[in-house]
Amino acid sequence: MPIIEVNGLTKAFRTYKKRPGFSGALKGLFHRTYEQTLAVNNITFQIEPGELVGFLGPNGAGKTTTLKILAGLLYPTSGQARVLGFVPWERQDGYRRQFALLLGQKNQLWWDLPARESLELNAKIYGIPAPRFEKIVSEMGELLQVRDKLNVSVRELSLGERTKMELIASLLHQPRILFLDEPTIGLDVVSQKIVREFLRAYNQRHQTTILLTSHYMADIQELCRRVIIIDHGKIFFDGRLSEVVDRFADFKLVTIHCDGAEDRSNRSLSKYGEVVETLPGSIKLKIKRDRVIPACKALLDELPVRDIDIEEVPIEDVIRQIFAR
């Protein structure tokens, strides 16, 4: 049975369109012109318990708005949603104790206090006994490599350390559902890797359902088997990540390793596919999927080939092309 059910969810924002200058401001006192923007436009999807789903889309696609509706922070214009059997925007206490929302650009820890004191306050709010609190904080602090930073003022922590502390605060009450909006934004590659490994292990151990938005494709590739792609408020794709390449990338990258590759004319090789890169000893071509095998056979006959590499287009490039459309 799905743990998250969304049916025909729509959220429209009405914004005042001000005319330029003082006269425009004066006219706005008596007659105002409004514009309506559909941030979320009739979307429908379901998520099963324990799934870790990537929620992708360009800036302004409606990702954060959807998460805020599911967290009960926004009321939808129309449509229905049930999470854990609750209607999110009714904000019932039984629901609020079972989910967590982590926004990568928002702080929930007190800026001037040590992180431990903010965590202790959260423990009191959720009624977590002291022994259990110490165990949870110790374990997650060790996994995220910030155990020695718990007594440091939040304002003195690095961005990566603050993000890890925010993650501990979100998971302190061990929610059944975790909404993550850009959790690794601005982090260095080491911190990103630590956070990703922690989320993967936590999901496997506790079977926590996670809905993750991120512009870092490494996050999505390493954590999510399923992705939902949203653009202009509408769901563009919902399925396995591997299907994105099969469906939207109709070519493969073929690298030919041969002597004198740099001397070969791009014009003579363009009959096989698009020449992407020419380096000393190798040529990389972009070839249509249905022509890869015959093209490789022809290249083997024409060139003194030492080796051939055939690879899929990087998923990041495929997503970028989808957004560009």
Phi, psi of 214 (to 5 degrees): -165, 145
- CA geometry: angle at 246 spanning 245 and 252, to 5°? 75
Which pLDDT belongs to residue 263? 65
| Same-domain pairing of 289 and 141 | no
Torsion of CA 8, 217, 240, 201, to 10 degrees: -100
Which pLDDT belongs to residue 266? 64
What is the domain range of residue 268? 249-324
Q: How far apart are CA 199 and CA 186, in angstroms?
A: 17
In a 10 Å sphere around its CB, with 0-12 CB exposed, 13-18 middle and 19+ buried, how is residue 115 labelled?
buried
pTM above 0.85, yes or no: no
Written as one letter, the residue type at 268 is S
Q: How far apart are CA 23 and CA 89, in angstroms?
A: 40
Written as one letter, the residue type at 193 is K
Which pLDDT belongs to residue 272? 82
| Same-domain pairing of 161 and 48 | yes
| Same-domain pairing of 166 and 271 | no
| Same-domain pairing of 81 and 45 | yes
Check: CB of residue 11 under 8 Å from CB of residue 169: no
Residue with tokens 């972009």: 286
| Same-domain pairing of 14 and 126 | yes
| Same-domain pairing of 22 and 158 | yes
Q: How far apart are CA 74 and CA 67, in angstroms?
A: 9
Instruction: Please identify, among 246, 273, 294, the residue that sits at the C-terminal boundary of a domain.
Output: 246
- In sequence order, the β-bridge partners of residue 13 are 37
How many domains does the chain fold into? 2
Which pLDDT belongs to residue 290? 82
| Same-domain pairing of 233 and 294 | no
CB neighbour list of residue 64: distance below 8 Å, 6 or more residues apart: 103, 181, 213
- Averaged pLDDT in 10-residue chunks for the chain of 325 residues: 93 81 72 82 94 89 91 93 94 91 83 90 90 92 90 89 90 93 84 90 92 86 90 89 80 83 68 81 84 86 84 76 72
Q: How far apart are CA 93 and CA 72, in angstroms?
A: 11
| Three-state DSSP state, 42 | strand
Instruction: Please identify, among 185, 219, 246, the residue that sits at the C-terminal boundary of a domain.
Output: 246
Which pLDDT belongs to residue 46? 95
In a 10 Å sphere around its CB, with 0-12 CB exposed, 13-18 middle and 19+ buried, how is residue 84 labelled?
middle
Check: CB of residue 260 under 8 Å from CB of residue 282: no
| Same-domain pairing of 300 and 209 | no
Q: Which two tokens stand for residue 44?
A: 């429908």
Q: How far apart are CA 18 and CA 25, in angstroms?
A: 7
CATH number at residue 282: 3.30.70
Nearest residue to 160 via CA among 183, 179, 142: 183
Nearest residue to 83 via CA among 37, 121, 38, 46: 46
Nearest residue to 218 via CA among 296, 126, 289, 316: 316
Instruction: Please identify, among 192, 227, 246, the residue that sits at the C-terminal boundary of a domain.
Output: 246
CB neighbour list of residue 51: distance below 8 Å, 6 or more residues apart: 209, 210, 226
